[in-house]
Copies of this chain bind each other. A is one copy, B any other.
Amino acid sequence: MADALIKKLEHFVRLSSLDKEVLGRAAAERVRKLRAHEHIVLEGDKPKVIYLVLEGWACRYKHLEDGRRQIVGFFLPGDLCDLNIFILREMDHSIATVTRTMVAEISRTTFEAILDGHARVTQALWWDALVTMAIQREWTVNLGQRDALERVAHLLCEIFIRIRTAGLSRGKSCDFPITQAELADATGMSTVHVNRTLQELRSLKLINLAGRVLTIMDLPRLMQVGMFTPNYLHLDREGAYLDSNE
């Protein structure tokens, strides 16, 4: 159930089978199946549980009064929404599915039991939270400094690597189930310009994107174009000193 999450966390620290079991149980506690483009939480809601995406894609977004929308992050399989979110009275953003999705709802008590009893898992969740923050900062840089081509290239690199980290890529390819309009909302560009930018990336022989599948023909060069440095994803098993030795 929590395979993607476990696979991701093991890029930080090697977990024991008990650790994995604990995560697996938490992820199985209450599972919901959702259709595409269904909202999970709306701005203003009282946050009550922690969501873990098991399958499919979701996103965080904020609306401005006049209808403009910014997607501020994607949830890929294995991604958690903010830990301890229930401290806050109300959500300051919304979360919705992008595709058909399976999410686990983890209750506050379950979550706190993990924090209490499983130090290694707690550390791994902290690591994940810090990486999530780093991703958010990187998005800020992406929107603030990079032009259209760089911006899209960077986002594609990030998504591909995150998916690969969760063990869900196939060679140079991975699922890429979002529309150009959604890509536009995530990059702060117009759909027209997203379209033209994708065409440019295709004509540079860097990517292939059709039928909900992304293939990155030349990852090193795409990373160069997007000035993508993966350091902010902190994937080098930085917590190895905490490894389970079972």
- Between-chain CB contacts (< 8 Å), 21 pairs: A43-B231, A60-B137, A62-B138, A64-B141, A64-B227, A66-B227, A69-B145, A72-B137, A82-B130, A82-B133, A84-B130, A87-B123, A88-B130, A88-B238, A89-B238, A92-B231, A92-B234, A140-B140, A143-B143, A143-B144, A145-B188
Cβ < 8 Å to B, chain A residues 162-205: 187-188
Q: Is A93 close to B, CB under 8 A? A: yes
Residues A144 and B187 in contact, CB atoms below 8 Å apart = yes
Q: A133-B133, A133-B136 are in contact. List 5 more A-B contacts (CB 8 A).
A: A72-B140, A72-B144, A87-B130, A136-B140, A140-B140
Q: Digit string of A20-46 for contact with B (CB within 8 Å is 1, else 0)?
A: 000000000000000000000001000
Interface residues on A, range: 35 or more
Q: Is A127 close to B, CB under 8 A? A: yes
Q: Digit string of A126-169 for contact with B (CB within 8 Å is 1, else 0)?
A: 11001011101111110111100000000000000000000000
A127 and chain B: residue at smallest CB distance: B87
**With the chains together, A231 CA to B63 CA distance in Å?**
13
Chain B residues, CB < 8 A from A238: 87-89
Cβ < 8 Å to B, chain A residues 75-104: 82, 84-85, 87-90, 92-93
Q: Digit string of A109-137 for contact with B (CB within 8 Å is 1, else 0)?
A: 00000000000000100110010111011
Residues B231 and A70 in contact, CB atoms below 8 Å apart = no
**With the chains together, A156 CA to B217 CA distance in Å?**
44
Chain B residues, CB < 8 A from A88: 127, 130, 234, 238
Most buried by B among A70, A146, A236: A70
Residues A144 and B70 in contact, CB atoms below 8 Å apart = yes
Q: Is A246 close to B, CB under 8 A? A: no
Chain B residues, CB < 8 A from A143: 140, 143-144, 188
Chain B residues, CB < 8 A from A123: 87
**With the chains together, A62 CA to B66 CA distance in Å?**
31
